[in-house]
Amino acid sequence: MNNPNDPQRMERIVSLCKRRGFIFQAGEIYGGLNGCWDYGPLGVELKRNLKDYWWRVMVRERDDVVGLDGSILTHPAVLKASGHVDTFSDPMVDCRTCKARLREDQVPEKNGAKQCPNCGGKELTEARPFNLMFQTQMGASAEPESVAYLRPETAQSIFVQFKNVLDTARKKIPFGIAQIGKAFRNEINPRNYIFRSREFEQMELEYFCAPEQGMQLLDYWLEERLRFYENIGIPRTKLHVLMVPDADRAFYSKGTYDIEYEFPFGVQELEGVAYRTNYDLTQHQNASGKSLEYFDEETKAKFVPHVVEPSAGVDRTVLALLCEAYDEETVTDEKGKSETRIVLRFHPRVAPFKVGVFPLLKNKPELVAKAREVQALLRPHMMVFYDEGGAIGRRYRRQDEAGTPFGLTVDFETLGEKGEELRDTVTLRHRDSMEQERIAIADLLATLLPQVQ
Amino acid sequence: MNNPNDPQRMERIVSLCKRRGFIFQAGEIYGGLNGCWDYGPLGVELKRNLKDYWWRVMVRERDDVVGLDGSILTHPAVLKASGHVDTFSDPMVDCRTCKARLREDQVPEKNGAKQCPNCGGKELTEARPFNLMFQTQMGASAEPESVAYLRPETAQSIFVQFKNVLDTARKKIPFGIAQIGKAFRNEINPRNYIFRSREFEQMELEYFCAPEQGMQLLDYWLEERLRFYENIGIPRTKLHVLMVPDADRAFYSKGTYDIEYEFPFGVQELEGVAYRTNYDLTQHQNASGKSLEYFDEETKAKFVPHVVEPSAGVDRTVLALLCEAYDEETVTDEKGKSETRIVLRFHPRVAPFKVGVFPLLKNKPELVAKAREVQALLRPHMMVFYDEGGAIGRRYRRQDEAGTPFGLTVDFETLGEKGEELRDTVTLRHRDSMEQERIAIADLLATLLPQVQ
């Protein structure tokens, strides 16, 4: 089960995510909405922690990056200029026999001919492009000029607002504009759980630079991003860097790396780091008629900036965190019986709850009061789960499944009933090793806080 | 200008927001997308601080509330059951003369007859309902069953996932499910800047309870929410509580309060706190055929829970923060010349930057190095803006306009050149009073951190 390529492993992860409230199917009680997912109480915290850490290291701790939050509804002229209206499409074929609509590149060949995977039919239509953008009508009239699109990527609002940001943020090149937000693609075949969905979230940085800085910054950002994944608990050994070959790169890109992760369903892309030249800004400058040039006060040069783009998927990174964390092991309980322990070995930085607080018994008011004190002490600084129900071993197991790295048990020693030297100490249990140690309540914050930030 | 009802006041606020990078029009270089806005570098931080504080006090610091993050694309059955498909509409009329499409309740009467405000024409069509939801097509075929809606409110995914959350989160009634996220309404006349836009963000809590708890919890949540606004710097004197009269309430609501704020364009709603009975869950239970009942283990009662909903608008709260903070005052500079100072008096908790750090002169490497040290000391804990360009007075003014509550200047005293007792101290300047005091670098974190959290 711990073989990362075991096909059952993915099923177990999906099952745990449903059972513990990480991820639910959108509209499940109505049969579900294909390719859309809702994050439950644990999932929303995991995702927030990931996004907050990205924002912290990519924006708040850097002098050279500022943030943006653009609208999802997008003016058609933006996506016409970017090329999405004309070329953001998959080739589709219809089966003349069973009427199934299929992505041409996913139709398998049999005996040298393409055959419908649905019914085996051999009569398929010619391939036609199917645009992947969702469109809607804005305003009260249904004229063509009232079309708006749901953005297929967050990047375009960064390019479109480049001049406004440049004029207001007092930044000199090289500098970046970062954004986290939802994007939408009408995938024909959403698949692999939250890996390829129709509604998803992106974390994108557009880092603007002089033309001669592009190739060097491409390598700089690749390294930065690899370090990011290591810092959230995805070891570099599980990451693959693919240098996208010339033929597969967008025509305007001078270099693109894919950062891939070993998912149970195969090695798949987590993030693209692309040197996009000045293609995007030039397209928008030409289409809008507004200058998007930068004037370098030192060199007196005027040019349309080049850009390096690290573009990460929030949901697929959440999935990588879940896949990397999921573990089953056989343990022996206090009665000598062996059982399977399911544990999510999240890095404490991304774990939904940082610590579980447990009074040993719920019918002893002194234990409960002390446990509530410990909770109140820690809660302003980290997510705490308080649980007083059931045997302590079962409470530990529940937190193992939720990925909570630390457990604190308030017992009779805490109350000073087993000697003064143990008064106001608690048991600190470590999720991964299951080892337990005694720690003073007064030392808790200083011990735990640096590990969970 | 500081008269809150001065019509020019709103224009000044909008102008400052553009000039300093709080808010830009979406797609501005293409003429703009009506009713959609992009948040720039300062605006995105202000909005994040607001949302993070809401999440902290509404979810993370409470035992009885968990979070959710549902998809924006919504199954039509969800919005059919909720009533949005059939009744979420405005009455529209067309002018037969100039073809303008108008909201009936916004057509003024003249001489006892409704006249088109566009051309003065008197021939208007009968009113027809215009549904305010954006719709789109999902999947490759364009059949009616492939329609999906952009959610008009975040609440419905909470109701639809109620059972999943109940089954996984180990909560007993009363407990709540909270969500922050985008929602969309195809407003015919978006207006008042970011107050009424087509794409906006909500912070909603659905707090589930037993029927007999509803009215009391309605009052409890009203008080909690008023306190929230006070804690982000909106004084209670500027807030109006409107008890919505029976005739104006939704038919299923047993009580609704509107929390209103004195905007420059009038007293308008910030948040609704509504006791919605068990209308929503009952509708979804009936439509889906899935039980959404709760079993109370103590009383052995089984019932569909009632709900109290505090529903706040992120963007209109951002606007209230900006309106409340905006101030102009006449000050006298060191040469005795009087000038106008523009200052955003944000509560430090929501201010985009918490502190500005300034070396007195940028061409003295010792000053710059020391200022960078101060920046590095504070940055892991709060947003810091480093600025070394221009006269120190101008740098202060720039931070006044950005709403930064504290300024720190590193000068020759800091370096010990004016006596040992001032070594490693800096000037701490307060934005609101412009008063300055001397403070040891070693005391900075302990002094500032409690004020900005």
Domain boundaries, chain B: 7-88+132-321, 353-452
- What per-residue confidence (pLDDT) applies to B143? 62
Q: What is the pLDDT at residue B443?
A: 97
Question: Are A441 and A377 spatial neighbours (Cβ–Cβ below 8 Å)?
Answer: yes
What is the average per-residue pLDDT within A3-15?
85
Q: What is the pLDDT of residues B344-389, one digit of tens each?
A: 999 999 999 999 999 999 999 999 999 999 999 999 999 999 999 8
Which residues of B are less than 8 Å from A71 in CB distance?
26, 33, 36-38, 199
pLDDT of residue B296: 94
Model confidence at A3, pLDDT cuts 50, 70, 90, reads low
Q: Is the pLDDT of residue A5 over 70?
A: no
* Residue B141: pLDDT over 70: no
Chains A & B: contacts with CB separation below 8 Å: 230
* Cα–Cα distance measured from residue A446 to residue A450, given in angstroms and rounded to the nearest whole number: 7
pLDDT tens, position by position, B198-245: 999 999 999 999 999 999 999 999 999 999 999 999 999 999 999 999
- Averaged over B288-303, what is the pLDDT? 95
Residues A367-394, mean pLDDT to the nearest whole number: 95
CA distance A356 to A373: 13
Q: Are B73 and A26 within 8 A, CB to CB? A: yes
Residue predicted with more confidence, B20 or B146:
B20
Interface residue B91 vs chain A (CB under 8 A) = no
CA distance A62 to A43: 28
pLDDT for B121 equals: 87
Cis omega before residue B174 (within 30°)?
yes
What is the tens place of the pLDDT at every residue in B163-173? 999 999 989 99
Instruction: For an interface test with A, give the residue of B15, B17, B30, B52 to mutate (most A CBs within 10 A).
Output: B30
Would you state the pLDDT for residue A113?
84
Q: Which of B96-110, B334-348, B400-414 has the highest mean pLDDT?
A: B400-414
Mean predicted confidence (pLDDT) in A264-289 = 97
Show residues of chain A in contact with B24, CB under 8 Å: 161, 164
Option in B34, B165, B386 nearest A21 (CB): B165
Q: Are A75 and B37 a contacting pair at CB < 8 A?
A: no
pLDDT at B144: 61
Average model confidence (pLDDT) across chain B: 94
Q: How far is CA B99 from the centre of its chain?
A: 36
pLDDT at A130 over 70: yes
Q: Name which of A269, A206, A275 is nearest A241 in CA terms.
A: A269
The pLDDT score that the predictor gives to residue A120 is 87
Q: Can you tell me the mean pLDDT for A197-207?
A: 98
For residue A102, what is the enclosing H or E element? strand A101-103
Binned at pLDDT 50, 70 and 90, residue B2 comes out as low
Please tell me the predicted confidence (pLDDT) of residue A143: 62
Statement: residue A142 has pLDDT above 80: no
Min CA distance, B111 vs chain A (Å)? 28
Give buried/exposed letters for B26-53 (b at 16+ CB in 10 A, else e): bbbbbeebbbbbbbbbbbbbbbbbbbbb
The band of A98, judged by pLDDT with boundaries at 50, 70 and 90, is confident
Reply yes or no on whether the pLDDT at B122 is more than 90: no
Listed in sequence order, the residues at least 6 apart from A317 whose beta carbon sits closer than 8 Å to its beta carbon are: A50, A229, A232, A270, A271
| pLDDT (mean) for A196-211 | 97
CA-to-CA separations, A234 to A322, A402, B63, in angstroms, rounded: 10, 18, 31
Q: How confident is the model at residue A301 (pLDDT cuts 50, 70, 90)?
A: very high
Please write the tens of the pLDDT for every residue from B246-278: 888 888 899 999 999 999 999 999 999 999 999
A98 or A295, greater pLDDT:
A295
CATH of range B353-452; options 3.40.50.800, 3.60.21.10, 3.90.1150.10, 3.30.1020.10: 3.40.50.800
A1 pLDDT band (50/70/90 cuts)? low
Please give the structure tokens belonging to residue A223: 């390294």
Q: Do the bridges between strand B294-295 and strand B302-303 make them parallel or antiparallel, or are there none, so unpaired?
A: antiparallel
* Segment A255-266 mean pLDDT: 96
In this prediction, residue B420 carries a pLDDT of: 94
Q: Which A positions 177-196 lie with beta carbon below 8 A of chain B?
A: 177, 182, 184, 186, 188
Confidence bin at B107 (pLDDT 50/70/90): confident
pLDDT of A191 over the 70 cut: yes
A89 vs B393: CA distance, rounded Å: 54
Query: Which residues of chain A lie closer than 8 angstroms to B290, CB-CB?
Result: 29
Beta carbons of A409 and A427 less than 8 angstroms apart: yes
| A139 pLDDT higher than 90 | no
What does the pLDDT read at residue A106?
80
Closest chain A C-alpha to B419 CA, distance in angstroms: 32
| CA dist., res. B140 & res. A90, Å (int) | 11
- Identify the band that residue B113 occupies on the pLDDT scale cut at 50, 70 and 90: confident
pLDDT value for A446:
96
Span A131-135, average pLDDT: 94
Percent of chain B with pLDDT over 70: 98
Burial class (CB in 10 A: 0-12, 13-18, 19+), B167: exposed
Of the listed ranges A73-82, A96-105, A169-178, the one predicted with least confidence: A96-105
A302/A388 Cα distance (integer angstroms)? 66
Residues of A in contact with B26 (CB under 8 A): 70-71, 73-75, 157
Which of B51, B54, B69, B163 to probe by mutation at the A interface, max A CB count within 10 Å?
Answer: B69
Distance, CA of B415 to chain centre: 43
Interface of B with A in 211-240 (CB under 8 A): none
3-state secondary structure B368-423: HHHHHHHHHHHCCCCCEEECCCCCHHHHHHHHHHHCCCEEEEECCCCCCCCCHHHC
Confidence label for A4 from pLDDT (cuts 50, 70 and 90): low
**Cα distance between residue A365 and residue A350, in whole Å:** 33
Query: B7-88+132-321 — its CATH code?
Result: 3.30.930.10
Distance from CA of A324 to the nearest CA of B (A): 22
Say how far apart CA B280 and CA B153 lie, in whole Å.
13
Cβ distance of B379 and A61 shorter than 8 Å: yes
**The pLDDT of residue A144 is above 70:** no
Mean pLDDT over A62-88 rounds to: 96
How far apart are the C-alpha atoms of B188 and A139, rounded to whole Å? 6
Nearest by Cα to A448 from A392, A398, A402, A405 = A405
Per-residue pLDDT at A328:
96
> CB-CB: which of B27, B136, B186 is closest to A134?
B136
Q: Which residue of A has its CA nearest to B156?
A: A27
How would residue B5 be classed by pLDDT, with cut points 50, 70 and 90?
low
Cβ–Cβ contact B20 with A under 8 A: yes
Cross-chain CB nearest to B37 (options A61, A71, A130): A71
Whether B379 contacts chain A with CB within 8 A:
yes
Q: Nearest CB to A68: which of B44, B161, B290?
A: B44
Mutation target vs B (from A34, A65, A71, A395; most B CBs, 10 A cutoff): A71
In A125-223, beta strands by DSSP E? 128-131, 135-137, 147-150, 175-184, 199-209
Three-state SS sequence of B135-162: EEECCCCCCHHHEEEECCCCHHHHHHCH
Q: Is the peptide bond before B152 cis (omega within 30 degrees of 0)?
A: no
Residue A424: closest CA among A433, A412, A434, A406: A412
Whether A114 contacts chain B with CB within 8 A: no
CA distances from B31 to A158, A185, B34, B316 (A): 16, 25, 9, 24
Instruction: Determine the Cα angle at B43 with ends B42 and B49, to 5°.
Output: 95
Q: Do B33 and A169 touch (CB under 8 A)?
A: no
A40 touches chain B (CB under 8 A): yes
Reply yes or no on whether the pLDDT at B1 is more than 80.
no
Q: Does A33 touch chain B (CB under 8 A)?
A: yes
Q: Would you tell me the crossing angle of helices B314-325 and B41-55 to the nearest 10 degrees? A: 110
Residue of A60, A140, A383 lying closest to B92 (CB–CB): A140
SS3 A333: coil
User: CA distances (Å), A128 to each of A32, A85, A87, A125, A134, in order?
Assistant: 28, 15, 12, 9, 17
